[in-house]
Structure 1
Amino acid sequence: MKKSRLSCYYLGLMVGLLVGVGGTGLSGQAASHNQTVTFGQLTNQNPHRLAAIRAAARQTLLTKTHAKASRVPAVFAVKLPTHMTKKATLTAKGLRMNLLPNAFNVRQIVIPYNQLSGKILNRYLPKKNRPVILKAKKVVALTFDDGPDPTLTPRLLKTLARNHVHATFFEVGQSVSRYPKVTRAVVKAGNEVGNHSWNHPDFNRIGTVASVQQVIRTDRAIYAATGKLPQYVRPPYGNITAAEGRQIQHPIIRWSVDSRDWAYLNTQKDISEVLRTTHPGSIILMHDIHAQSVAAVPTIIKRLKAKGYRFVTVSQLLNNQALPGLQYFAANNYRTAGK
């Protein structure tokens, strides 16, 4: 798998943050309330950041209207800003945006600043909402695909809780719809839930339109279970085209450590493969639908902790700065989705 050092994107992000805290007479403080700004200013002309603002706007619109899950497809049809010259207003509570006529009959929303952390430049955020950069070097993110399983996922949650570890679960929409209580339990325990398609097709085979519908349908199921749209998508088999990367309006999460647990179905082999290939910043891929995989987790956690590793969620590993249109393999290892 292609690896990179500090990519151009993160260099741009760092420069953007530096620009955001100086040169404007703000002395590093958040911009003043009721200040009109363009999206170009908010994002340093970064289209991925603007896509992240649109994602936050969708969640805000659903929350504001107390929308049922059946309204999730409609929120993706709402026309949201795509041009950097469009304007919004910084208020005490968040970013105020005017909306074009839409099916929700809402003319204006205010996106809370805590939903914009890592999405807009730091200079426009209150200090408490600015991303917290992980200082520890030996951090990894455990991720589990293809659940929820009504028996194995709760068993795994108990293991994670006993070891004070949080993980990220990429769930299949039809299983979420069947076992929403399990998905809620995943979130209640402090873990993250991501989108892993509705029924696990190869996106490269079904095409862009069908792939987008797979994602939206699963977003709807996860929203029905948790009240929140998932932030991330992991395409089945890791396959995604450039066109799908542009149209699927979520950060794409891949992996750098493949346990191959689905192939082995052998607890000891699962343990050996993960320990052999894990490095600082790794995103580890496992599955919570195989008993052998779930049985391997306690030993994996114990042995990696003994080596000085700390376990974090994908959001923490990426410093809450993952953006739509990009795919992430590990900390500081990403590129444009589909490339």
Structure 2
Amino acid sequence: MIMRHVKWGLTVGLLMLALGFLGSGMTALAKRTDQTVTFGQLTAKNPKRLAAIRQAARQQVLKQAKVKGASKIEAVYQVKLPTHMTKKATLTVAGLQMNLLANRFKVKRITIPYSRLKGKVVNRYLPKANRTKRVKTTKMVALTFDDGPDPKLTPRLLKTLKKYHVHATFFEVGQSVARYPKISRAVLAGGNELGNHSWNHPNFNQIGTAKTVSQVNRTNRAIYQATGTLPQYVRPPYGNITATEGRAIEQPVVRWSVDSRDWAYLNSRKDINEVMKDTHGGDIVLMHDIHPQSVAAVPTIIKRLKAKGYKLVTVSQLLNDHALPGLQYFGAHDYRTTGK
């Protein structure tokens, strides 16, 4: 009996000691993470990084306000978000905590998960799991598809991507998203990315900044209503966008470095030859999922690129999550100010 009491006492003592260490560890963690920082510190005083934080904040406002429809999407762009580097936020266990001024959503405080800030905030302020690391893009290629969703061809393309264990990025037209929301959801469900390609494909350079912003926001609204998430990227129709428009929409612009010219050829063999002739590591390939010839060419393109040792990835993977508003991206290491 004495030995049992001794063992029990030792067990309890060790347990209490362990809990003590755990408690002190948790306290230390809390002290390390509940840290007040300025946006200047978080962004290394880079205004484009701050714009990326605002972009992530809008998504979080909608999530915390539990906005399900599209009626309040326009209002999220009216929420006052930080524009000055001296403003402060708090690093917490759950994410970056920001206080908000009075707004239509009646949300006083948001906490943006660190996963949404990867590549946008200076690495040292992020948990290790959410920090970016250097990636070798010499054997990476991003396939992108414009102008969908198409009710027949996009599902066929999604089956091909799934078959070959490949993910791609789709830049969709808002009016088609509104017509076929189920397909847009299927794009994301397959592990692919979904971007904004305007509402009805006008040339932004010919319609002016106000109408360009309306085109982008209207499509963002349609994509949010269909999927419950705002798209990160915009691809302007014909690749045309001014610097003023780029600043106004506050989303990274994704262009391309390889044009398959599938829209001109409407010939699967020519599509395949064009892509294989021009594609190298780090490239963003432009195709369309509204032409049957283009969709028919994809299996061969995938197999031939893989045979050359290329890994086919999303735009975010190719850019290592570093895409920022105000910049346009042509490839893994080719980016410029939007409109230049």
Q: Name the residue aligned to 2:25.
A: none
Alpha-carbon separation, structure 1, partners of 2:175 and 2:326? 25
Q: TM-score under structure 2 normalisation?
A: 0.90
For residues 301 and 41 of structure 1, do their structure 2 counterparts lie closer, same or farther at Cα, with a shift above 3 Å needed? Answer: same
For residues 136 and 205 of structure 1, do their structure 2 counterparts lie closer, same or farther at Cα, with a shift above 3 Å needed? Answer: closer
List runs of 5+ in structure 1 lacking aligned partners: 1-28
For residues 136 and 197 of structure 1, do their structure 2 counterparts lie closer, same or farther at Cα, with a shift above 3 Å needed? Answer: closer
What's the CA shift string for 1:147-201, capped at 9, x where partnerless? Answer: 0000000000011111110000000000000000000001000000000000000
Q: Name the residue aligned to 2:147.
A: 146
Q: TM-score under structure 1 normalisation?
A: 0.90
Q: Name the residue aligned to 2:167.
A: 166
Q: How does 1:174-185 map to 2 (within 5 A)?
A: 174-185=175-186
Opposite residue 34 of structure 1, the aligned amino acid is: D
Instruction: Establish whether residue 39 from structure 1 lines up as the match of residue 23 from structure 2.
Output: no
Task: Determine which structure has the larger helix proportion and give its number.
Answer: 2
SS at match of 2:241: coil
- Native 8 Å contact 1:113 1:129 kept in 2: yes
What's the CA shift string for 1:95-122, capped at 9, x where partnerless? Answer: 1111111111111111111111111011
Larger Rg: 2
Report the alpha carbon displacement of residue 30 of structure 1 after superposing the two structures with TM. 11
Q: Name the residue aligned to 1:19.
A: none
Opposite residue 89 of structure 2, the aligned amino acid is: A
Q: Name the residue aligned to 1:87.
A: 88
Report the alpha carbon displacement of residue 305 of structure 1 after superposing the two structures with TM. 0.8
List runs of 5+ in structure 2 lacking aligned partners: 1-28
Q: Name the residue aligned to 1:328.
A: 329
- Native 8 Å contact 2:137 2:282 kept in 1: no
Q: Name the residue aligned to 1:100.
A: 101
SS at match of 2:71: helix
Alpha-carbon separation, structure 2, partners of 1:289 and 1:273? 18
Alpha-carbon separation, structure 2, partners of 1:102 and 1:138? 46
Opposite residue 233 of structure 2, the aligned amino acid is: Y
Q: Name the residue aligned to 1:119.
A: 120
Q: Name the residue aligned to 1:109.
A: 110
- Native 8 Å contact 1:31 1:123 kept in 2: no
Alpha-carbon separation, structure 2, partners of 1:152 and 1:100? 45
Instruction: Establish whether residue 76 from structure 1 lines up as the match of residue 71 from structure 2.
Output: no
Residue identity (%): 71
Q: How does 1:144-293 map to 2 (within 5 A)?
A: 144-293=145-294
What's the CA shift string for 1:199-228, capped at 9, x where partnerless? Answer: 000000000010011000000111111110
Opposite residue 183 of structure 2, the aligned amino acid is: V
- Native 8 Å contact 2:279 2:285 kept in 1: yes
Report the alpha carbon displacement of residue 131 of structure 1 after superposing the two structures with TM. 2.0
Report the alpha carbon displacement of residue 34 of structure 1 after superposing the two structures with TM. 1.7
Alpha-carbon separation, structure 1, partners of 2:31 and 2:294? 48
- C-alpha RMSD over aligned residues: 1.3
Instruction: Establish whether residue 48 from structure 1 lines up as the match of residue 32 from structure 2.
Output: no
- Native 8 Å contact 1:134 1:316 kept in 2: no
Opposite residue 170 of structure 1, the aligned amino acid is: F
Opposite residue 146 of structure 1, the aligned amino acid is: D
Instruction: Establish whether residue 311 from structure 1 lines up as the match of residue 312 from structure 2.
Output: yes
Q: Name the residue aligned to 2:17.
A: none
Q: Name the residue aligned to 1:20.
A: none
Q: Name the residue aligned to 2:60.
A: 60
Alpha-carbon separation, structure 2, partners of 1:122 and 1:31? 19
Report the alpha carbon displacement of residue 31 of structure 1 after superposing the two structures with TM. 9.0
Opposite residue 37 of structure 1, the aligned amino acid is: V
Report the alpha carbon displacement of residue 132 of structure 1 after superposing the two structures with TM. 4.2
Opposite residue 279 of structure 2, the aligned amino acid is: T
- When structure 1 is superposed on structure 2, of 119-128 and 66-75 the one drifting more is 66-75
- Native 8 Å contact 2:259 2:287 kept in 1: yes
Q: Aligned pair count?
A: 311
Q: Name the residue aligned to 2:3.
A: none
SS at match of 1:268: helix
Alpha-carbon separation, structure 2, partners of 1:39 and 1:30? 20
Report the alpha carbon displacement of residue 70 of structure 1 after superposing the two structures with TM. 1.4
SS at match of 1:32: helix
Alpha-carbon separation, structure 2, partners of 1:151 and 1:327? 31
Alpha-carbon separation, structure 1, partners of 2:133 and 2:85? 27
Alpha-carbon separation, structure 2, partners of 1:325 and 1:32? 33
Alpha-carbon separation, structure 2, partners of 1:136 and 1:66? 38
